[in-house]
Amino acid sequence: MSPRIVLIGPMGVGKSTVGRLLAERLGVGYRDTDDDIVTAENRTVADIFVDDGEAAFRAIEKRAVRTALTEHEGVLALGGGSVLDADTRALLASRQVVYLSMEVEEAVRRTGLGAARPLLAVNPRKQWRELMQARRHLYEEVATAVVPTDGRTPEEVTEAVLDALEPETVFPGEQDPRPEDAVVNDVTRIRIGGTAGSEPYEVLVGRQLLGELAGLVGDRAKRVAVVHPEALAETGEALRADLAGQGYEAIAIQVPNAEEAKTAEVAAYCWKALGQSGFTRTDVIVGVGGGATTDLAGFVAATWLRGVRWIAVPTTVLAMVDAAVGGKTGINTAEGKNLVGAFHPPAGVLCDLAALDSLSVNDYVSGLAEVIKAGFIADPVILDLIESDPEAARTPAGPHTAELIERSIRVKADVVSSDLKESGLREILNYGHTLGHAIEKNERYKWRHGAAVSVGMHFAAELGRLAGRLDDATADRHRAILESVGLPLHYRHDQWPKLLENMKVDKKSRGDLLRFIVLDGLAKPTVLEGPDPAVLLAAYGEVGE
Ligand SMILES: NC(=O)c1ccc[n+]([C@@H]2O[C@H](COP(=O)([O-])OP(=O)(O)OC[C@H]3O[C@@H](n4cnc5c(N)ncnc54)[C@H](O)[C@@H]3O)[C@@H](O)[C@H]2O)c1
Ligand SMILES: O=C(O)C(=O)C[C@@H](O)[C@H](O)[C@H](O)COP(=O)(O)O
């Protein structure tokens, strides 16, 4: 959830009156964070200032704004000083924020010496000028539109705001960039557009989705191979038996758990099983498991007979939001992570949320690293949802599980729909992975992928900050959110030379040039090419322990 419009501006500018009129015009609810605070504290804003001081009020206000940004879908008015907080400003990035402005004479006329305005109690004209000197640039920094209110009635201001809004805000849905996404019977279908050479397909998110499997396999297939890890032997066998019951010659191919499956030897074992069962070009592979299994199964499908159809049934958060979506398949080699592979999109992806119930907490949390990555590179609402209750985000029973997964899938779907083969935009999905993959190799693939990516994102944030690209608040937010869900931030300091060596074979490197994805700001990913080695080392200085 996210407000359709956020109103900011100084006290007395008319945010409440205009906010209510706007909400009425748009047919949505109205909310005001000052009202939330008064209700929660059972005191007026002025009383909180007098009793506890401004700093205490700002801390209460910051929490109130964060909660409202996560919970409210209509028009939201923020208190005049809320933009003083850098974290709050970062939260407002990429939202529709309207700054209602007014000049000093109008302000003094409207606010006067009212006791309810604690910051203007004495000499209002002087106080106002000082206040606006401190705040005007902050309002302008976060605003997507500025609407002057001087000499205008609230109705006229409301009209001006409506004129200034992006059409999508006023007529939501009419310009939906993903009109093909649909929710039927609690199953969300996210369509991934086919670029040149690949068919479009759907990612289904819901429960009890296995009834969809045979339809995806289709009637041209005679044989189906279900590739599953040891940990999911029962699930693999249940799928095989179900497909056999529907008339297919179904085999199960059990592979090792986790990264041990992503080797040339295991791929060769699968090829042998396919060969022995007489698998032809119309037959279908089903990869059921975490990202390691779906990467392997997709790779086997890409290479068998130079490419057969495959269906992904991801059973971890990480595989649902990332690995099983988008068509990157592959295995590791002794020299590095995912060094051998192919772009080979699946024919469909079934994300059955019930599968997550049996996942260990560590494997669940590992997946949150890719969810958080999607938040930082493209969809900050993901971050708001996690920050609203990090403890709940660590379990499938959390209130936002489905929304977090769906939002992350949409981020990936949007990117890979326009750049399947990573000729440009797709590189942003590699945020945190340059160092992350180097750590995984250094640990001989015993670290969880998400844990390594978490340290890698911390590094990328520090690199962005030290390279003068990323603001302090957004860089700090990385540490706070990753830590809040229990992901690691640090790695051994003395390993830097080895990590640097490992990073040279990263797929984004060009010749001797190291390339990193960093942020220019929240949800503004970009490429940093050939950073100064001293800056790299300094960034690692923040990560190493
Ligand atoms: N292709 C891509 O675009 C892409 C994107 C992100 C990550 N990846 C890859 O994904 C892999 C990591 O995936 P992962 O985090 O899912 O780890 P994983 O596949 O190693 O699974 C983690 C562990 O959980 C077990 N498991 C899986 N589902 C389970 C369930 N429902 N209940 C109980 N146990 C279950 C697995 O057998 C394994 O032991 C890495 O190899 C990474 O490189 C690929
Ligand atoms: O889909 C992509 O593109 C990604 O980069 C997603 C990553 O999260 C994922 O770990 C991917 O496997 C990394 O790809 P690689 O090309 O760097 O091996």
Q: Are 540 and 496 in contact (CB under 8 A)?
A: yes
Q: Which member of 422, 443, 483, 508 is catalytic?
A: 422
At residue 131 the predicted structure's pLDDT band, cuts being 50, 70 and 90, is: confident
Q: How far apart are alpha carbons 128 and 150 in whole angstroms? A: 15
Cα–Cα distance measured from residue 79 to residue 37, given in angstroms and rounded to the nearest whole number: 10
426 ligand 2 Cβ < 6 A = yes
437 is a catalytic site residue: yes
Using one digit for the tens of pLDDT, what is the confidence trace for 456-487?
999 999 999 999 999 999 999 999 999 999 99
Q: For residue 13, what are its two tokens?
A: 């500018």
And the tokens for 73? Answer: 């879908």
Q: Following DSSP, what letter does each residue of 246-277 receive, concatenated?
A: TT-EEEEEEE-SGGGGSSHHHHHHHHHHHHHH
Please, are residues 99 and 9 in contact by the beta-carbon 8 Å criterion? yes
- Please give the average per-residue pLDDT across 23-43, as a whole number: 91
Please report which confidence band the pLDDT of residue 358 belongs to, taking 50, 70 and 90 as the band edges: very high
User: Among the options 259, 262, 309, 430, which is catalytic?
Assistant: 430
Tell me the range of 37-41, 139-143, 182-186, 453-457 where mean pLDDT is highest: 453-457
Q: In degrees rounded to 5, what are phi and psi of residue 238?
A: -65, -40
Catalytic residue chosen out of the listed positions 240, 394, 426, 507: 426
Nearest ligand to the C-alpha atom of residue 450: 1
Does residue 128 carry a pLDDT above 80? no
Residue 113 reports pLDDT greater than 50: no
Query: What atom in ligand 1 is closest to the CA of residue 337?
Result: 43
**Alpha carbon of 429 to ligand 2 centroid (Å):** 6
d(CA 543, CA 545): 7
Q: How remote is the C-alpha of 18 from its chain's centroid?
A: 32
Chain-centroid distance, C-alpha 379: 5
CA atoms of 447 and 464, how far apart (whole Å)? 25
The DSSP string of 105-124 is HHHHHHHTT-TT-GGGSS-H
- Please give the Cα distance from 451 to 486 (Å, whole number): 9
Task: Read off the amino acid at residue 477.
Answer: R
Residues with CB under 6 A from ligand 1: 229, 231-232, 257-259, 262, 289-293, 295, 315-316, 318-319, 322-323, 326, 328, 338, 355, 358-359, 363, 366-367, 370, 449-450
Helix (H) or strand (E) holding 338: strand 336-343
d(CA 447, CA 299): 22
> What is the predicted pLDDT for the residue at 527?
94
Q: What is the C-alpha separation between 401 and 371, in angstroms, rounded?
A: 11
- For the CA of 330, the closest atom of ligand 1 is 1
For ligand 2, mutation pick of 339, 417, 430, 448 (most atoms within 8 Å of CB): 430
Does 493 qualify as catalytic in the annotation?
no
Q: Answer whether 525 contacts ligand 2 (Cβ < 6 A).
A: no
- pLDDT category, 205, cuts 50, 70, 90? very high
Question: How many other CB atoms are found less than 10 A from the CB of residue 311?
Answer: 27
Q: Could you tell me which of 369, 304, 295 has the C-alpha nearest to residue 339?
A: 295
Instruction: Calculate how far, in angstroms, residue 322's C-alpha sits from the geometric centre of ligand 2.
Output: 8
Question: What's the pLDDT at 64?
Answer: 87
Q: What is the per-residue pLDDT across 158-170, written as a single tens digit (0 to 9) for each?
A: 998 888 886 666 5
Q: Please, which pLDDT band fits residue 176 given cuts at 50, 70 and 90?
A: very low
Measured in Å, residue 326 CA sits from the centre of ligand 1 at 15
Our answer to whether residue 212 is catalytic in this structure is: no
Closest ligand 1 atom, CA of 262?
A: 41
* Rounded CA separation 241/237 (Å): 6
Residue with tokens 């670029």: 195
Report the predicted TM-score, pTM, of the whole model to 2 decimal places.
Answer: 0.72
Q: Does the annotation count 306 as an active-site position?
A: yes
Atom of ligand 1 nearest to the CA of 448: 15
Q: Which of 66, 117, 262, 328 is catalytic?
A: 328
| Separation CA 347–CA 344 (nearest Å) | 9
- The whole-angstrom separation of Cα 264 and Cα 287 is 17
By the 8 A CB rule, do 167 and 175 touch?
yes
Whether 322 is in the pocket of ligand 2, judged by its Cβ within 6 Å, is: yes
Q: Which residues sit opposite 517 in a β-bridge?
A: 527
Distances (CA, A) of 292 to 71, 170, 258, 515: 35, 44, 5, 25
3-state secondary structure of 349: strand
| Residue 328 is a catalytic residue | yes
Q: What is the pLDDT of residue 194?
A: 66
Which pLDDT tens digit goes with each residue over 261-312?
Answer: 999 999 999 999 999 999 999 999 999 999 999 999 999 999 999 999 999 9
How many CA atoms does the CB half-sphere of 244 hold within 13 Å? 11
User: Is 430 close to ligand 2, i.e. is its CB under 6 Å away?
Assistant: yes
